[in-house]
């Protein structure tokens, strides 16, 4: 009975991951499956990341995204708010193509939430939620393939492209 599932049984992790990808429209699913790089990045409220295309070795179509609050319920699972220059969106465990670009973002299937303490100038400790996001691109960011789209931390972008001014 390979390939058959009994109704009411939980899927294994691989089947669950495949089911999440299968929720994408056909064209987006084909694009997602053609991408080779999947990375896990740490995020927290107000963390800035930079989305850019690489053309002629230069960063173009540069856009800053800001991570926000986490929403969680038993039906929809974890959702992460992000803001960008034209509004906002929610990331979910279903991969989402970012604004028609060659980039997918999603909440990992194995979602983990941590509280990390942060020392303030007044010698207080504030706790901030930390979580991970999955980033899927055509190629790994370190390869810097011309024509590809990348999503990196603000510091990494500044190191790689110091001549590009960033508004945030």
Bridge-based pairing of strands 58-73 and 48-55 is antiparallel
104: exposed, middle or buried (C-beta count within 10 Å: 0-12, 13-18, 19+)? buried
**Are 44 and 131 in contact, with CB atoms under 8 Å apart?**
yes
pLDDT value, residue 85: 87
pLDDT of 98-131, one tens digit each? 999 999 999 999 988 899 998 999 999 999 999 9
pLDDT value, residue 106: 97
Beta strands in the chain (DSSP E): 37-43, 48-55, 58-73, 77-84, 87-91, 96-97, 104-106, 114-119, 125-137, 149-153
What percentage of the chain has pLDDT greater than the value 90? 83
Distance CA 130, CA 158 (A): 22
Four-point Cα dihedral 75, 133, 149, 90, nearest 10: 40
pLDDT of 59-76, one tens digit each? 999 999 999 999 999 988
pLDDT value, residue 168: 66
Q: What is the largest CA-CA distance in the chain?
A: 64
pTM: 0.89
pLDDT value, residue 1: 40
pLDDT value, residue 45: 94
pLDDT value, residue 146: 96
Q: How confident is the model at residue 28 (pLDDT cuts 50, 70, 90)?
A: very high
pLDDT value, residue 130: 92
Q: How confident is the model at residue 6 (pLDDT cuts 50, 70, 90)?
A: low
pLDDT value, residue 4: 62
Average pLDDT rounded to a whole number, residues 20-47: 96
Q: What is the pLDDT of the chain when averaged over all its residues?
A: 92
Bridge-based pairing of strands 37-43 and 77-84 is unpaired
Q: 103: which residues sit within 8 A by CB, 6+ positions away?
A: 51, 97, 135, 136, 137, 149, 150, 151
Tokens of 49: 């990341």
Identify the helix (H) or strand (E) that includes residue 26: helix 26-34
Average pLDDT rounded to a whole number, residues 139-146: 94
């Amino acid at each position: 009975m390979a390939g058959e599932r009994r109704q009411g049984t939980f899927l294994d992790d691989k089947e669950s991951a495949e089911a999440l990808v299968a929720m994408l429209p056909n064209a987006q699913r084909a694009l997602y499956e053609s991408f080779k790089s999947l990375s896990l990045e740490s995020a927290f409220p107000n963390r800035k990341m930079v989305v850019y295309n690489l053309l002629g070795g230069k960063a173009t179509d540069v856009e800053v995204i800001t991570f926000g609050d986490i929403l969680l319920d038993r039906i929809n699972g974890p959702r992460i708010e992000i803001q960008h220059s034209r509004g906002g969106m929610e990331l979910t465990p279903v991969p989402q193509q970012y604004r028609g670009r060659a980039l997918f973002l999603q909440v990992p299937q194995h979602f983990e939430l941590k509280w990390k303490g942060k020392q303030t100038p007044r010698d207080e400790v504030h706790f901030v939620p930390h979580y991970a996001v999955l980033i899927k691109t055509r190629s790994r960011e370190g390869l810097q393939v011309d024509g590809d789209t990348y999503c990196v931390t603000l510091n990494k972008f500044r190191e790689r492209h110091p001549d590009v001014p960033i508004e945030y």
